[in-house]
Structures are given as C-alpha cells and as structure tokens.
Structure 1
Amino acid sequence: MTNQSNQNPARESSESRRRFIKTTSGIVAAGAVTSPNLGWSDDVADGATRVLIVVGPSSHPPGTHEVEAGGRLMKHALEHIENLSGIHANVVEGWPEKSLRDTASTVVFIGDLFPPNRLPNAQQNLAELDEMMRRGVGIACIHYATGLLGDDVTPEGDHPLLRWMGGYFANRSCPHHESFARVFPKATITPEPTDHPIARGWNEFTLRDEPYFNNYFGTDENQLASNATVLATSMLPPEAPKQETVAWCVERQDSGRGFGVVMPHYYKNWRDEDLRRLILNGIVWSAKIEVPAAGVKTKLPDLADFNPKAI
C-alpha cells in the first residue's frame, strides 16, 4: 500500500479524522498520554468524576496487551458514554503526580503485572497508593495488571492488592499459589446470577483470549472474602473444566471499591461489546458512579485510532 494519501482516498479520510480527533479532544495518538508532571486539563468541568488511568511497562508482542493503546481507548470510551456524562479521564505512563492522585475518584491500572510494583520506587508507589485507598478511592486492574510476582508478596501470599481489589493473578514465581495463563481458542465468559451493578447490560460471550484461571483470593481455601462478589466465570481449562472466576469486585471497609478482570489479552477483543461493557461498568462502579440500568453504552471504537502497534 502506498504511503501517499492522495492516491488512497479512504486512507486520507481516516488520517484526517484522526487529526481532527487529536486536535479537538486530545484523545488519540501518543500525545494523549499525560506526563506524570501534569495535572488535569483546564477544561475539566467542576464536579466531573476523574478517572486516572496508569499505564505500566509491557514487553508483549504487537497485538497483545497493547497497554498504551488500551489506556487511550478506555479514556475515549469513558468520556463518550452515551447514557452517562460527567467523566473525565487522564492517561499517565509512569507514576502519577500528587495532583492527579489527590483528585482521582478511581485509578485504573493496565500493564504487564501490577504497575505500582513494576515502576521505579515500588515501595513509595505502594505507600502513596495506600493513601489513596484509605481515602476511599477506587481501583481497577485490567488483564495482567492483576498480576503479582513472588518477590512482590510475602511467603503466605499477602499483598495490599488482595485487600484493595479482593484477589490477584499469582505468577508462577509466587511461593504460595500458582495461577495459570493460557490462550484458549474459544473461552466462554458467563455472567454470574447477581444483581450487582457491574452485571448490568452484558451477556455471555465467547472469544479467543487468555482469561487467567486459578486466581488467588486468600487463605480461606481460595474463596473470595465476604465483601467480594464474583461477576463472571468460565469453565477452564477445557480438558478438565472447572468454574473459574475471571472478573470480581470488592467493597472495602475504607468505603473504596475494587474491580478485577483478567481480559483482554488481545487488543482486538476490545471490539466485543459485552466485554467492553463489563470493563467499563466496573470502572464506573469503582468511581462510585451509578451504573445505568442497561449498563454503560458506547459506540464501537475504531481500534486503529488509538495507535496500537498492531490489531
């Protein structure tokens, strides 16, 4: 394909549309990622709910994880919900500045493993995140951002994330438990029969993805705590199927809320409306916003608009 847009009208139209979006709203392109030294943009309306999206490092090949593009996509979707308004999101690569942490209603992590532990100054990051959690700020982790290494946890598996979010993916290096990561050609994700707000408006779906299983939820025979709710399960692995929790949430004693979901591995799966609604419902709920009765409604985004390495 030629790189000269005047020889490809469709490409020219697409490029013009992307430039327009970038110019008018700062949503797409690499420039949409906020420097850790910047605060919220000046056009944030008073009373807006602020969602802080923190992008951690990733070494996965193109088309998988795509954490930067995933962060930009979530920002766009949250700011363009059709049946809900008043949300502003910022995307930050690296650890966020205090001004961002102090005003966020919830913090969303996406990256290879739990970003506070992977970014520089991990102990300081965790201490500052603990300050946010004690104020009742929400937390949501997407796919591998739910994960911890053995070096991150105590020999018994303790880590603040267990309380903040209700559970985590235990990497094989963990001394106490091993969760599993496999790509399944057809993984069926089933909503639990619950009236929880995050369950609103999405139905069972099947896709090629890597929903982690045997996730870790604590020392009580690996059962979720009483303040946690199973949102979605899948029968995994196919050769020895067992009902596995792949999305969950928790209401914490500090009044904050946590949400974990172990998908999507493939960036292209953001196209799936049910998966996208599950994730956006979870983020909205973690920010203490009432989830609409039909769930969060968004138009199918053009995934190429968010500058992935591949789709």
Structure 2
Amino acid sequence: MHLRNSLLAIAGAVTALLPLANTAKAEDAKKKIVFVAGRPSHGPGEHEHRAGSMLLADQLNKSGLPVQATVVDNGWPQDTSVFNGASAIVIYSDGGGGHPAFKHLDELKAFAKAGVGIGCIHYAVEIPKGEAGNTFLDLVGGYFETDWSVNPHWNASYTLPKHAVTRGISNFSMLDEWYYHMRFRDKMAGVTPILTALPGPETLTRKDGPHEGNPEVRAAVTERKEPQHTMWVYERPDSVGKGRSFGFTGGHFHKNWQNDDFRRVVLNAIVWTTGLEVPAKGVPSKTPTDAEMQANLDPKGKK
C-alpha cells in the first residue's frame, strides 16, 4: 500500500509539472527578437526610441505569432547575453558616430554569420562611411551616407509592391522625416525596395550639407525624377551569413506608430527577418490606444 501511494504521488507530481514543461518547450520554440533602443534624443514625441521599441515589441508579443520580443535601452547592452538565441536584432536609435553598433561591428558580423536577422529604424540606418558603411552595405543592404543621402521632412505617398512584408497593408501617405537617396549595394544586389516615392522639390530647398543636399541628389530628383526608396528588405549572401535584413527610414515622429499601415509594414519586416512566414493579412496588430502611445516616453519636458 505504501509503495502504491508513493507511485501515485510521483505520478501526480509528474503530471503537475507537465504544463510547465510544455510551456518551456513553447517558449523555446519562439523566435527571439531583441530591440536595441537608443538613448533619449530630440524633443518630446521625436526619436522616442525606447517607447517606440516597447510599443512594437508589445504588438509582436500580442500578435499570436511564435515570437518573443524584448527591449534593451540606452544603446548596446553591456550584458550581451541578452542576444543569446536571438533570431533578429532591431536597432532603433540615433546614428552616425553615436550609432550603438558602431563600436560593435565585429559582433554584428558574427550575428549575421549565424543567420540572425538585422533591422534598422530611422536614424539607425546612418553610420559613418568607410569601413562601417561598407559593413552596413554587407549586413543591411544599404545605409544613409553623409554628403550623399538627405533627411528632409516630407509627406510621402506609397504604392506598395507585392512582397511578404507588404501583406495586409494598403497604400498610404505619411508625413515623416523620410531619408532618401540612400547608398545601396552595387546594382541593388539582394535588395528589394518596399517603400518608394518621388520627393518633391520642396525637400531640397536647404543648402548643400552632410544631411541637407548635394549635387548628386539634386540631379537624381529634380532632373532625372528618380523615385527614392525609403524602406527596403535585403536577403544576405552566404559570404556574410545568409539571412534577412531591413532598413526603414521613417520613425522620427512617435505618433506615426498609431497609423496601422505605417506600423504593420515594420512589424511585418521584423517577423520576416526572423525567417517566419508573414501571415496573409500581415502581422495581427491592433491600433494602439492613446494611453499606449503615451507609455514609456522618455522624460524630455513639454512640447
């Protein structure tokens, strides 16, 4: 009798642990996404890296897809174990010489070699030209190059191509700081434009400068009328680590994440970089409430 009771107790304990084991397996099966949010920058409602990253991560975690997103803020984490097992890294931050990955390019290359997806949002697409810029050409497919690319505020109207990243998204228009005349890989090798529009002449009214204008961009837009790509996806070659990346130049204004098409095209791109199939109707995503939009904003004073 004692033996029978002991066996029943053991069986009961094992049964009680099964849900926990199943939960652990389910968590292990999820694609891990790590957002690297940059330090506070600009005025209230602009460059809200932390709040924007947390909003997108929350949307992904509530999507019902097999993903688990987490956010580290204030730039590249000191404890890089957060990247362990990551399927995608998304950087939303200031760029140039202050880019979080600028001093960690070897680490980023290693992640790419391992097949980890890489995404860059807004200013995070800019990194100094030269070795760093060439690295971004290999890892992201394109980048903002000073004295070549420009950063005006303008209302862009997009007609979307057919691609997994555009599923469930309608053509849309949005006022943002859409960077354009990006530096892409030679012959756009592996690069697929997602958002493309022709900027108006009002976007080049500033004097020439590292971000403002240059003869090459003026000839491309005002003379040759060449449409400009403000978002792209990239399928990396085996030589740098076969995987997927994207660049999205919008994201200056935090309020724009409340637009369903603007937000979902980025969510779709993030999921795509993990290697998952983007749902036919796009990543499930509810319009954030005003309260959700106000959550996690950096303390910057009143606007």
Assess, with a 3 A threshold, how the Cα gap between structure 1 residues 188 and 238 changes in structure 2: closer, same or farther: farther
1:86 maps onto 2:55 in alignment: no
The percentage of aligned residue pairs carrying the same residue is: 34
Structure-1 residue corresponding to 2:297? 307
The answer for unaligned runs of 5 or more in structure 1 is: 1-41, 173-177
From 26, 47, 52, the counterpart of 2:34: 52
* Amino acid paired to 2:116: V
Structure-2 residue corresponding to 1:25? none
| CA–CA separation in structure 2 for the residues paired with 1:64 and 1:53 | 18
| CA–CA separation in structure 1 for the residues paired with 2:115 and 2:235 | 10
| CA–CA separation in structure 1 for the residues paired with 2:48 and 2:25 | 28
Matches within 5 A, 1:1-311: 45-81=27-63, 84-93=64-73, 94-96=75-77, 97-113=79-95, 118-119=99-100, 122-123=102-103, 125-150=104-129, 153-154=130-131, 158-172=133-147, 178-184=148-154, 186-192=155-161, 194=162, 196-218=163-185, 220=186, 223-225=187-189, 227-239=190-202, 240=222, 241-253=225-237, 254-302=241-289, 303-309=293-299
Residue 55 of structure 1, CA deviation: 1.1
Residue 126 of structure 1, CA deviation: 1.2
| CA–CA separation in structure 2 for the residues paired with 1:108 and 1:271 | 19
More helix per residue: 2
Residue 170 of structure 1, CA deviation: 1.2
Is the radius of gyration larger for structure 1 or structure 2? 2
| CA–CA separation in structure 2 for the residues paired with 1:166 and 1:85 | 27
| CA–CA separation in structure 2 for the residues paired with 1:158 and 1:87 | 30
The answer for unaligned runs of 5 or more in structure 2 is: 1-23, 203-221
| CA–CA separation in structure 2 for the residues paired with 1:103 and 1:171 | 34
* Amino acid paired to 1:101: F
Contact map agreement 2:178 2:249 (CA 8 A) in 1: yes
| CA–CA separation in structure 2 for the residues paired with 1:91 and 1:283 | 14
Deviation per residue, 1:5-33 (Å, 9 max, x gap): xxxxxxxxxxxxxxxxxxxxxxxxxxxxx
Residue 238 of structure 1, CA deviation: 4.1
* Amino acid paired to 1:201: G
Q: Which runs of 4+ in 1 moved over 4 A?
A: 308-311
* Amino acid paired to 1:211: W
| CA–CA separation in structure 2 for the residues paired with 1:271 and 1:130 | 33
Assess, with a 3 A threshold, how the Cα gap between structure 1 residues 237 and 58 changes in structure 2: closer, same or farther: farther
Deviation per residue, 1:148-202 (Å, 9 max, x gap): 134xx24xx8421111111011133xxxxx1001111x2212313x3x2112111
Contact map agreement 1:143 1:261 (CA 8 A) in 2: yes
| CA–CA separation in structure 2 for the residues paired with 1:58 and 1:171 | 22
Contact map agreement 1:188 1:205 (CA 8 A) in 2: yes
> How many residues of Structure 1 are paired with residues of Structure 2 in the alignment?
249
Contact map agreement 1:57 1:119 (CA 8 A) in 2: no
Q: RMSD across aligned C-alpha pairs, in angstroms?
A: 2.3
TM-score, with structure 1 as normaliser: 0.74
* Amino acid paired to 1:234: A
Structure-2 residue corresponding to 1:8? none
Residue 58 of structure 1, CA deviation: 4.5
